[in-house]
């Protein structure tokens, strides 16, 4: 399957600082990227959908000013957690899909964010 690389795999930051997570599709053009958040023992919660060159669409309850998403190219999307707080500590996962809607979506390795 296609390769999606997410970086970093884990990060610890202080409260009030910002953290950027990168998601790259290495061998295909990802017209759409998705950002998910997973709490322990729970499902993947979709945070936002980003299409290359346009603004991200956020799910209800997700603060767009806190979780900044940029999808500047067909191979790169970034999620920036701004002014992080301990409650933002979670596992963040990106996913990339190509032009065809009914197809597989491929996931990055995930990023464990811990805010202290």
Partner 1 sequence: DQQVKQNSPSLSVQEGRISILNCDYTNSMFDYFLWYKKYPAEGPTFLISISSIKDKNEDGRFTVFLNKSAKHLSLHIVPSQPGDSAVYFCAAWNQGGKLIFGQGTELSVKP
Site residues, partner 1 (CB under 8 A)? 1, 4, 6, 32, 34, 42-44, 46, 49, 91, 93-95, 97, 101-110, 112
Q: How far is the CB of 39 from partner 1 (least distance, A)?
A: 12
* 98 φ/ψ angles, rounded to the nearest 5 degrees: -90, -160
Q: CB under 8 Å to 41, separation ≥6 — which residues? A: none
Residue whose C-alpha is closest to residue 19's, from 94, 101, 114, 98: 114
Q: Which is nearer to partner 1, 38 or 80 (CB)?
A: 38
Q: How far is the CB of 2 from partner 1 (least distance, A)?
A: 9
Q: How far is the CB of 3 from partner 1 (least distance, A)?
A: 11
What value, to the nearest 5°, has the Cα angle with vertex 64 and ends 36 and 73? 70
Q: Which is nearer to partner 1, 83 or 114 (CB)?
A: 114
């Amino acid at each position: 399957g296609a390769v999606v690389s997410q970086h970093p795999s884990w990060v610890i930051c202080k409260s009030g600082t910002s953290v950027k997570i990168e998601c790259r599709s290495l061998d295909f053009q990802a017209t759409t990227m998705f950002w998910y958040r997973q709490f322990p023992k729970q499902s993947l919660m979709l945070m936002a959908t980003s299409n290359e060159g346009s603004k991200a669409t956020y799910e209800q309850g997700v603060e767009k000013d806190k979780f900044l998403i940029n999808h500047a190219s067909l191979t790169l999307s970034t999620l920036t957690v701004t002014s992080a707080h301990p409650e933002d500590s979670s596992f963040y996962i990106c996913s990339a899909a190509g032009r065809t809607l009914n197809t597989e979506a491929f996931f990055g390795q995930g990023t464990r964010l811990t805010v202290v």
